[in-house]
């Protein structure tokens, strides 16, 4: 699978043991063991693809309202991991490409 500058589970090794996912809009949240995610999905699986999969049943995603989108994030990616700022998941971007910083809303 091409990396395309995305954050992969392999990037999290040694930085995070648990990947936290949270949505401020609906209150959904969860914790996922990085080792288990790698075991299930592979080291090169993209965090963004994982987020898209686990939020697939989000009512805000299904309505398609661009003014009230799903706000699922990985807040730990921004806290000292070198992947972003502002507490938002910057899935799909590596630290080199943060000059073009885009907060991903899924």
Q: Is position 78 within any domain?
A: yes
106 lies in a domain?
Answer: no
Tell whether 72 is covered by a domain.
yes
* Predicted pLDDT of residue 103: 38
Range of the domain at 70: 9-100
In a domain, 40, yes or no: yes
**Residue pair 1/41 in contact by the 8 Å Cβ criterion:** no
pLDDT of residue 80: 53
What is the number of domains present in the chain? Answer: 1
Instruction: Assess if residue 1 is contained within a domain.
Output: no
Task: Tell me: pLDDT of 46 over 90.
Answer: yes
Residue 43 resides in a domain: yes
- N-terminal to C-terminal alpha carbon distance within the chain: 21
Kindly report each contact of residues 58-65 with a partner whose C-beta sits within 8 Å and lies 24 or more positions away, as own/partner.
58/23, 58/26, 58/28, 59/26, 60/25, 60/26, 61/106
Q: Please report whether residue 4 resides in a domain.
A: no
Q: Which of 7-11, 61-65, 87-91 has the lowest mean pLDDT?
A: 87-91
Q: What is the pTM of this model?
A: 0.68
Residue 53 maps to a domain:
yes
């Amino acid at each position: 699978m091409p990396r395309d500058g995305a954050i992969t589970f392999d990037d999290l090794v040694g930085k995070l043991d648990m990947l936290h996912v949270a949505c401020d809009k609906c209150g959904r949240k969860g914790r996922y063991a990085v080792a288990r995610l790698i075991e299930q999905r592979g080291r090169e699986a993209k965090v963004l693809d994982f987020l898209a999969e686990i939020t697939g049943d989000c009512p805000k995603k299904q309505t398609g309202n661009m003014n009230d989108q799903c706000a699922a994030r990985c807040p730990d990616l921004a806290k000292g991991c070198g992947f972003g700022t502002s507490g938002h998941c910057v899935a799909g971007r590596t630290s080199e490409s943060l000059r073009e910083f885009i907060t991903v809303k899924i």
